[in-house]
Structure 1
Amino acid sequence: MDASKEDIPYREEISSISELLPCRESQIKLLLSLFGEREFMTLPSFFLYGHTATGKSAVTNSILKTCKLPHVLVNCVECYSSRFLYEAALNGLYACRESGRPDMPIKCENMNDFVRLFRQTCSELHLQNETVYIVLDKAERLREMDANILPAFLRMQELVDGNVCVILLSEIVWEKFRCGTGFLEPLIVHFPDYNKDELLRILVRSAPAEYPLDFYQMYLNLVLSVFHMVCRNLSELQHLAAINFKKYVEPIKSGEATENDSRKLWKNFEPHLKKALQTVYLREVSSTQWEKMLEESDVGKMITQQGLSSRTHVELPYYSKYLLIAAYLASYNPAKSDKKFFSKHSDKQKKKLLKKQERTNNHMLGPKPFPLDRLMAVFYAIVEGKVAPTANIFMQITSLVSVHLLAQVAGDDQIDVPKYKCLVSLDFIKSVARTVNFDVIRYLYDFV
């Protein structure tokens, strides 16, 4: 593509997307120039990598939606098996033409069928003359699937003999994906971490209307001065800034200080901020619980007398509760029911389950073992907010095993794939679910 046409077709899109996603102008401009027009042939594959909350998914989704390019979004954590992955991509194609869903969900078992069905579906939807983008988020999970999946997706344009582009989104570098020869090298685009100035520029966009912008910017500078050295995750920083602002302006609302009394505001806020520092990543409570604690009494007194140490009503860290709920669902629900309960593309009305009297009661048979990838898929589907499967999450699984709420069981012949089963009772999991306002009965196969 010559330089004169590099960014002219998408000049307005660059401006609108950059306004929506600041500090990612260079990546937006690069991807838009490489995508080209809808009918242009593009590169077979892209590999976008960077740490959690660096804008990979947001930039990709914004570009595809703003430019109205035909695309399919597949999360490899939710689609933890190759069959789920193929079917999610094929059924998702119908959204490109606003066709909703196919009359019957497409079934696909292997890569050969996927290539054939992909070509056939594109023909039915009249997508042959446009570039179709397949976006695979959390692409590092592809390494755990069949060995032919990743090389085939990288060569999808060649296999389907059509205009298709595969975009891999990952938190690890491309070198970790190479496991043999024959790979078609994708174009690699790096999304670096936001620096302190960029974080401030993004966070200040959420300033409350009732306070001056300079005042909120000063508050953010205080928050970043404490958290920036231990946390660069934009999502976590947004969460911390939002839930702690009420405590910062407390002296103003009570009339003890004004917006210009920065020393008095800081003196009141500093002990609270140190307590909040202990809950980075490993949240002890949810946002609503934290706000309720602030409303009921002074947070320092609340934490020492009632909250984090004694835990009269919060027995587990916030994410551990969802992990335990996910483990219970995986232990007592058959794997075939996961798609009905958790898949975004499932049609609950068309799927008919057996009558209750014709089923075997799973609670009578006891908990069944389940693999780690199924646990993470259920957790990712039910947890409040978007949570990346980081090392902190896996540490909490280990903690649940150590306190005998989960048990690790021996796998059949897959040494590298651990299996677990849930050891808690139905009454216990119902009480845990109530603390996070999750209706666990609604997702249990025996009760629907």
Structure 2
Amino acid sequence: MIGREAPIAELRRAAGLYTDVFESPAPLVIIYGGASTGKSVAVSQVLRTHPSPHSLVDCTALYSAKEFYREALSQVHDGASGSKVEDVTVIETHSGKERVNESSKQSKDAANCSSLNFLGFFKALDKWMAHIRAKDDTKSRRVLYLALDHVDKLLERGLGALLSCICTINEQIAYLNMFEDSPPWEICVLLSTRGISMDFDRLVMPFFPAYVHFPPYKPEELADILIEQLGMKEANDMFRTWLIHLHGLLPPASDGDWLQFRAAVVHLLPDFRDLFLRRVQDSEVSKMKNKIERYLASFNPQETDVRFLSSSGGQRRKKRRLLAIYLNLRVEAEAGSSAYIDESRSSETREETFTHLAILVRMQLFQRTTAPHVLDNIKFRCLADARFVQETARYLSFPLDAYLNRAT
């Protein structure tokens, strides 16, 4: 999984999910993180690659404790059935009658799951683990992993007592085997949740849980994921740069779910293919280069503007350059002033303010490049006084003095 190496390694360490060595796991592990951070997929992948028996229950559609007990035992029963089929295939010692009796017994046990409570659930688990341990020649200590995904849904539905009962299974095992050197099996409970509320923290704190955090994906990690999901490896570098740039432009989701960003990328993907991946003719390339050159020309440094206005001839070229400066100032001011403008101020007031600001800049630039007698013309006079515009620039954090005086 891209970008989840560190959380998965921490999950393996806390839960003892190593394939080469046995390490006693923590009795309770809390996996928490925002929406779409890979918690569910990581837990499922780690449990599938580990030889120990496990049950992964999604609590989204659970509304009672009986439904949870039935779902958990059903998954354990399916795992046990699979292992029995493998044993029959390899050893071939069971007779047909025994197989029929065994299957009828299993179906009867499954039918009795409708009236389950915690005591019946624990007895069924203990009986099943004893059967698994009896088949193991090494008689080693066995671990059952019981994972619950979206446990915050259980708390919302008033099933906090169910979580308390599940967390006490190890105590029940120790009580039943108090005269043994060590319990024959233990359980590791994995609880996956988006957030840790005060009620949830108060509920699990007496059991001394281990915590594993799945942080949000970074823009670079999201880019790598989307490149793989959308099959854009042919435009790897270009598409990755575009994704990172687009991630900085779009507002983040309220719940931190990056799937909304993925939906926006899918919506814009045809435009990306048309603009960046389609073949263009040489004439179109020349036109696009000229357009880019004209666009970049409006962002020259201030000292370049001063040299241009003081050396080039013709008022028409100077007016074009001043118009580019004027439009550039308006675009930058309107794009960067949203955080400083009060909501009560309208867009028309901002436009009028920046118009006065740009007129003052044009006035002072004309004073530097034009003869004094030309400035007597009424069309070159500013519509607002200098004090008003300077205070406005200071309020909007606009570097007016730096723009006008850096080159002189």
Q: Which position in structure 2 is the counterpart of 1:111?
A: 118
Task: Kindly indicate whether residue 231 of structure 2 is the aligned counterpart of residue 208 of structure 1.
Answer: yes
Deviation of 1:251 after TM superposition, in Å, equals 4.5
Q: Which position in structure 2 is the counterpart of 1:186?
A: 209
Correspondent of 2:194 among 166, 171, 177:
171
CA contact (8 A) 2:64 2:159 kept: no
1:25 and 1:252 map into 2 onto residues whose CA distance is 33
CA contact (8 A) 1:49 1:173 kept: yes
Deviation of 1:191 after TM superposition, in Å, equals 1.5
Deviation of 1:65 after TM superposition, in Å, equals 1.5
Q: Which position in structure 1 is the counterpart of 2:244?
A: 221
Q: Share of identical aligned residues, percent?
A: 21
CA contact (8 A) 1:54 1:191 kept: yes
1:135 and 1:191 map into 2 onto residues whose CA distance is 16
**CA RMSD, 1 decimal:** 3.4
Q: Which runs of 5+ in 2 are unaligned?
A: 86-102, 175-184, 292-408
How many residue pairs are counted as aligned between the two chains? 243
2:160 and 2:37 map into 1 onto residues whose CA distance is 29
State the secondary structure of the residue aligned to 1:49: strand
The 1:96/1:234 distance shift into structure 2, 3 A limit, reads farther
**Aligned AA (1:186):** P
Task: Kindly indicate whether residue 64 of structure 2 is the aligned counterpart of residue 41 of structure 1.
Answer: no
Listed one character per residue, the Cα deviations across residues 221-255 of structure 1 (whole Å, up to 9, x for unaligned) are 34313325346423333343234312321356775
Q: Which position in structure 2 is the counterpart of 1:244?
A: 268
Correspondent of 2:151 among 127, 139, 147:
139
Q: Which position in structure 1 is the counterpart of 2:128?
A: 121
Q: Which position in structure 2 is the counterpart of 1:90?
A: 73
2:199 and 2:277 map into 1 onto residues whose CA distance is 52
Instruction: Give runs of aligned pairs for residues 76-87 of structure 1, distance below 5 A.
Output: 76-87=59-70
Listed one character per residue, the Cα deviations across residues 14-63 of structure 1 (whole Å, up to 9, x for unaligned) are xxxxxxx1222221222222333475431111011111111111211111
Which has the greater radius of gyration? 2
State the secondary structure of the residue aligned to 2:188: strand
The 1:120/1:145 distance shift into structure 2, 3 A limit, reads farther
Instruction: Give runs of aligned pairs for residues 291-330 of structure 1, distance below 5 A.
Output: none
Listed one character per residue, the Cα deviations across residues 79-105 of structure 1 (whole Å, up to 9, x for unaligned) are 221111111011111343425994342
Between stretches 33-42 and 65-74, larger displacement belongs to 33-42
- TM, length-normalised to structure 2: 0.52
Deviation of 1:193 after TM superposition, in Å, equals 1.6
Deviation of 1:110 after TM superposition, in Å, equals 1.6
Between stretches 57-66 and 103-112, larger displacement belongs to 103-112
Between stretches 232-241 and 184-193, larger displacement belongs to 232-241
State the secondary structure of the residue aligned to 2:48: helix
Listed one character per residue, the Cα deviations across residues 244-274 of structure 1 (whole Å, up to 9, x for unaligned) are 312321356775589x97x97xx9xxxxxxx
State the secondary structure of the residue aligned to 2:41: helix
Q: Which position in structure 1 is the counterpart of 2:161?
A: 148
The 1:182/1:35 distance shift into structure 2, 3 A limit, reads closer
Listed one character per residue, the Cα deviations across residues 258-313 of structure 1 (whole Å, up to 9, x for unaligned) are 9x97x97xx9xxxxxxxxxxxxxxxxxxxxxxxxxxxxxxxxxxxxxxxxxxxxxx
1:202 and 1:191 map into 2 onto residues whose CA distance is 16
2:240 and 2:123 map into 1 onto residues whose CA distance is 55
2:281 and 2:31 map into 1 onto residues whose CA distance is 48
1:23 and 1:82 map into 2 onto residues whose CA distance is 35
1:181 and 1:217 map into 2 onto residues whose CA distance is 42
Q: Which position in structure 1 is the counterpart of 2:258?
A: 234
CA contact (8 A) 1:204 1:220 kept: no
CA contact (8 A) 1:42 1:163 kept: no
2:37 and 2:247 map into 1 onto residues whose CA distance is 17
Deviation of 1:182 after TM superposition, in Å, equals 8.1
State the secondary structure of the residue aligned to 2:107: coil
Q: Which position in structure 2 is the counterpart of 1:31?
A: 11
The 1:117/1:248 distance shift into structure 2, 3 A limit, reads same
- TM, length-normalised to structure 1: 0.48
**Aligned AA (2:165):** A
State the secondary structure of the residue aligned to 2:153: helix
Deviation of 1:117 after TM superposition, in Å, equals 1.5
CA contact (8 A) 2:31 2:39 kept: yes
1:184 and 1:151 map into 2 onto residues whose CA distance is 9
